[in-house]
Amino acid sequence: MSKKVAFLDRDGTINVDHGYVFEIGGWEWCEGATLGMKLLQEAGFTLAVVTNQSGIAQGLYTEADMRKLHEHMKRLLLEEGVEIAHIAFCPHDRNQSDCDCRKPKAGMAKQIEANIGPIDYAASWIIGDKEADVGFGKNVGTHTALLKSDYWQADTLKDKPDFMAASLFEAAKEIVIRNA
């Protein structure tokens, strides 16, 4: 049976984007993020993180550094009753042409599906703060929620999201209403 998945961007969606966050000391939750994830989980969504991590290719941090931070995040979430089924990441540089996993490309969705099983993309959502997140959703066939950020302007968006929200928590509330 296929799962409905809430694909969640990491930096700027789950945690405050301080630029290349890779150390536990630099981790700061976005306000209401944990509660938003809990709402989605209680509504029957499997939670998965999809995150571009070009800092690895740039030599700013290692894959092991990133994995340590992800384990920390998952531990904190489990304490709140929230389970992340899988974290997919793209370690490649923004300009690497042979990469098929950097959002908005669909490679991370394939990574998630390989780990959790079949996904009902038409019933799934992506929540993120960048236009690439919306593009990812369009490329894999999910609904899209774009969080307000300094990374885009509404009048210049190439791909229009299903809706815009102030935070992961606000997006989760709207998704739950739409899926009721």
* Gap between the Cα atoms of 66 and 28, Å rounded: 15
Has 150 been annotated as catalytic? no
Q: Which of 9, 17, 129, 133 is catalytic?
A: 9
Q: Which of 11, 17, 129, 133 is catalytic?
A: 11
Has 17 been annotated as catalytic? no
* Gap between the Cα atoms of 161 and 57, Å rounded: 29
Q: 140 and 164 in contact (C-beta within 8 Å)?
A: no
Q: 92 and 102 in contact (C-beta within 8 Å)?
A: yes
Is the dihedral angle over the CA atoms 92, 96, 102, 107 positive or is it negative? negative
| Bridge partners of residue 5, in order along the sequence | 46
Catalytic residue annotation: 9, 11
